[in-house]
Amino acid sequence: MAEFLQFLSSGLTVGSVYALVALGFTLIYNASNVINFAQGEFVMLGGMSTVFLALAGVPLPIAALIAVIVTTAIGLALYRFAIEPARDASAVSLIMITIGASIFLRGLAQVVFDKRFHSLPMIFGAEPLRIGGAAVLPQSLVVLGGATTIVLLLWAFIDRTILGKAVIATAVNRLAARLVGIDTRRIIGLSFAISAAIGAVAGVLVTPITLTSYDVGTLLAVKAFAAAMLGGIGSALGAVVGGLVLGMLEAFSAGYISSKYKDAVAFIVLLAVLLAMPRGLLGRGKIERV
């Protein structure tokens, strides 16, 4: 039982990161039909900026805040200068632009930061808590709590505010949204900004556990993309569920099956799920107009 809980805690921690990045994917995809492969870079920028600001002497909470703000600005810039000018391009071209952006951001990080890996201090110390025989780091709880808070805040925003409704309207039908007076460009820009912010916060929260370096973004983007599809792209809840499920698949297959093939198991399960449920776990069916 103790080891089950241990694997569970590991899976949920890693899964929360995937969930947050997948959430960012979904947000942007919903608003603009773009799969943003630079999403992982937002996490990297959040973590690395905080590290370097802290090294320069800025107190940690301020450093984190500045890092999130800077990353949000970068997300907005990405939209404004790269995506928006090419808004009528095909889906594949847009994906290629985001791939170019991720390469650019990675190159930027190499030059501005460095190529080593870094950590941040754990908020509540490194002493693990004993829960049911498992050793759980307090930071894991912080990550889980942070992820839950973000999801709740996002839900409240989408469901309870006019601006949130506008986001939904843009996602459902961009033309109709413009016809009722919604400035869809602002809305899409907003979704990029929110995704970047979420990614940055995830980066700050998780760096004490996972460490960070200039190239953590790539693998993270791939896994989070898989998680978003697993949950069903277009569904925010699906993204979160997909991320957590992927994290847990990795932890449980490493623990119970074979650590050599844990990534393989995760992807095999992903393929199996997609074949059985072609829209993902929680994806909505699309009615195809003929």
Partner 1 sequence: MNVRALMAHRFAGLTVVSAIVIVLPFFFPSAYYYRLAGLVLIFGLAAVGLNLLMGFAGQVSLGHAGFLGIGGYSVAIGATYLAAPPWLCILGGAALSGLVAFCVGRPILRLKGHYLAVATLGFGVLVTIVLTNEATWTGGPDGMTVPRLMLFAWPVHGADAWYWIAAITFLIGGTLALNLGDSPTGRALKAIQDSEVASSMLGIDVSYQKLVIFVISAVFVSIAGSYLALFNGHITPDISGFLRSIELVTIVVLGGMGSIVGSLLGATILVVLPQTLTVLHEYEDMAFGLILMGFMILLRQGIVPSLMGWFAGRRS
Partner 2 sequence: MFVLHRVLATAACTLAIAVATGLSASAQIKIGAVLSVTGPASFLGDPEKKTLEMYVDEINAKGGVNGQKLQLIVYDDGGDANNARTFATRLVEEDKIDAMVGGTSTGSTLAMIPVFEDAQIPFISLAGAIQIVQPVRKWVFKTPHTDKMACEKIFADLKQRHLTAIAIISGTDAFGKSMRDQCVAVAPNWGITVVHEESYGPRDSDMTPQLTNIRNKADVQAVVNTGFGQGPAIVTRGYRQLNIGVPLYESHGVASKQYIELAGTAADGVRLPAAALLVAEKLPDNDLQKPVVVAYSRAYQQKTGQAVSTFGGHAYDGMMILVQAMQRAQGADKAKVRDEIERTKGYVGTGGIVNMSPTDHLGLDLSAFRMLEIKNGDWTLVPDAKS
Q: Which stretches of the chain bind partner 2, using CB under 8 A?
A: 3, 6-7, 9-10, 13-14, 17, 110, 114-119, 126, 128, 135, 137, 206, 209-211, 213, 215-216, 219, 251-252, 254-255, 259-260, 263
Please state, in angstroms and rounded to a whole number, the distance separating the CA atoms of residues 106 and 224.
18
State how far Cα 78 lies from the chain centre: 16
At closest approach, how far in Å is the CB of 259 from partner 2? 5
Where is 136: in which H helix or E strand?
strand 134-136
- Show the binding pattern over residues 144-163: x = contacts partner 1 (CB under 8 A), - = does not: --------------------
Residue 120 neighbours by CB distance under 10 Å: 22
Ranges within 162-191 binding partner 1 (CB under 8 A)? none
- Which stretch in 67-75, 127-135, 145-153, 262-270 sits in contact with partner 1 by CB under 8 A? 262-270
Which position among 162, 175, 260, 287 is part of the footprint of partner 1 (CB under 8 A)? Answer: 260
Nearest-CA neighbor of 231 among 171, 154, 284, 158? 284
Which among partner 1, partner 2, none contacts residue 268 (Cβ within 5 to 8 A by kind)?
Answer: partner 1
Does 135 bind partner 1 (CB under 8 A)? Our answer is no
Q: What is the DSSP string of 204-225?
A: HHHHHHH-B-TTHHHHHHHHHH
At closest approach, how far in Å is the CB of 89 from partner 1? 4
Look up residue 89 and give its two tokens: 């391009």
Which among partner 1, partner 2, none contacts residue 142 (Cβ within 5 to 8 A by kind)?
Answer: none
Angle between the 216-231 and 236-252 helix axes, to the nearest 10 degrees?
A: 110
Does 103 bind partner 1 (CB under 8 A)? Our answer is yes
Where is 135: in which H helix or E strand?
strand 134-136
